[in-house]
Amino acid sequence: MKISLIQPGRNNLKYLKWAYDAIRKNQGSHDVEICVADDASTDGTWKWCQEMMAKDDKFKAILNDTGKRIGHTILYDRLVNEVATNDIAMIYHADMYLAPGALDAIEREIEEKTIVSLTRIEPPLHPDGPEKIIWNGGVEPEEFIEEEFLKQLPSMKDASKVTEGIFAPWAFYRKDFQEIGGHDPLYAPQSKEDSDIFNRFQLNGVKFKQVWDGFVYHMTSRGSRRNTVDKAVNIYTDSPEWLAQNQRSTRNFIRKWGHFVMHDRLMKPIVPPKYNMGIVIVNCTDQLLEILEPWCDCICVDMDIENYIEKEQKNTLYDLKERVFNKEDCSNDIIINIDGKTFNEQDYQYINQMSQIINQSGEPNSSFKIGNLDLKIKTKVEYTEDLIKL
């Protein structure tokens, strides 16, 4: 199998070297092209990339030389579209050790309109889950107990088990990726771009397979979230930069999809219908406008909106002047009327679940009340498929 591994990196040279050595050691008979993007690193990453390109003709790299971080949301796509030359590619993190036989499992299951994820074996830095294996083989490359890992590996494998989750590392046909336009720059530099593209793959008819006889050992979160060379205090604490961007990306995900990220216990996406919804608020406050604006396509309030738009516009590609209005009514398919004086936490939970509520209970040309919310459904048109392609 010919496969291109896609690896953006920012100030994580130690992990890139560790990942590279494992790939070349354990790639077996497969033809593996390693595609790296240096995202304005200051730790010598580009010098190393130049050295690797000089001695490994299957190693390719590009440099963001702007001095400012672009993020993997953009660089994944540059590597897939501009650098990779194989039909099959895999989104692969710098803090992953490719286990022997992993690529064999991918080759067995991969086909067009199918994405194959390897199972992650991780140290106990994050909560356990049924989609991964928790096993402490070290939390830094210099601590990795490789010999013991390889000894334990056969007992972890289950070739008969294939589930439907999707997460990194995930292998795909580049044409399936390009058909939907790749990652959405709405989430740059990072966070929630993976959940967005997974939703879109699923809506476009792509099937997911997670193999349980193909593994990576994953140090976890060393790209930016807990990279101590890049603003994280330690490997146990999320960096302030990541936390702020995660909040921005979460709000943008809600603006686009109308709900929080949803998936089943094995990480298969759950995608409720997307409806065209407007929120009308009387007795609105600054806080209420900030909380509720992402949850609709149009929000109409009885207060000054200029300060909110000025503050929030830098956090989104959506034109807030086309979403936030100082008027009494919206013309959306579904209208939610709210009185700021009675709105409470339970009402907010209803807003969070509004796509499911409308899907299950709403009827065209109807009105009903739930909590303190007054709903009017003019028509019940689903727009979910409009979100598939960029």
Residue 15 inside a domain? The answer is: yes
- 233 in the same domain as 299: no
Assess whether pLDDT exceeds 80 at residue 126: yes
- 187 in the same domain as 42: yes
Please state the domain count of the chain. Answer: 2
Question: Average pLDDT of 380-384?
Answer: 97
Domain boundary among 223, 257, 291: 257
Residue 230 inside a domain? The answer is: yes
CATH number at residue 180: 3.90.550.10
Residue 205 inside a domain? The answer is: yes
The amino acid at residue 54 is: A
Residue 389 inside a domain? The answer is: no
- Respond yes or no on whether the N-terminal peptide bond of residue 123 is cis (omega within 30° of 0): no
**pTM score over 0.85:** yes
Helices and strands in the chain, H and E counts: 12, 16
Tally Cβ neighbours within 10 Å of residue 164. 16
Domain residues for the domain of 311 are: 277-384
- 226 in the same domain as 177: yes
Residue 264 inside a domain? The answer is: no
Residue 270 inside a domain? The answer is: no
Instruction: Please identify which residue in the block is written with the tokens 């990726």.
Output: 177
Domain boundary among 226, 257, 288: 257
- 345 in the same domain as 248: no
289-317: b or e for each residue (b if 16 or more CB lie within 10 Å)?
A: beebbbbbbbbbbebebeebbeebeeebe
Closest CA to 132 of 123, 120, 116, 150: 120
Q: In this prediction, what percent of the chain has a pLDDT beyond 90?
A: 91
- 135 in the same domain as 90: yes
Q: How far apart are CA 98 and CA 103, in angstroms?
A: 9
Q: What is the pLDDT of residue 241?
A: 86
CB within 8 Å of 55: residues ≥ 6 apart:
none
Count CA atoms within 13 Å of residue 2 on its CB side.
6
- 306 in the same domain as 197: no
Tally Cβ neighbours within 10 Å of residue 379. 11
Q: In this prediction, what percent of the chain has a pLDDT beyond 70?
A: 99
- 128 in the same domain as 20: yes
Residue 267 inside a domain? The answer is: no
- 311 in the same domain as 242: no
List, in sequence order, the alpha helices (H) in 210-267: 240-257
Tens digit of each residue's pLDDT (9 = 90 or more) over 208-236? 999 999 999 999 888 777 777 777 777 76
Enclosing H/E stretch for 324: strand 324-325
Residues forming a β-bridge with 163: 210
Tens digit of each residue's pLDDT (9 = 90 or more) over 326-350? 988 889 999 999 999 999 999 999 9
Q: Is 269 helix (H, G, I), strand (E, B) or coil?
A: strand
Angle at 117 between CA 35 and CA 15, to 5 degrees: 45
Q: How far apart are CA 108 and CA 204, in angstroms?
A: 23
Residue 364 inside a domain? The answer is: yes
- 156 in the same domain as 12: yes
Domain boundary among 225, 257, 289: 257
- 149 in the same domain as 11: yes
Tens digit of each residue's pLDDT (9 = 90 or more) over 164-184? 999 999 999 999 999 999 999
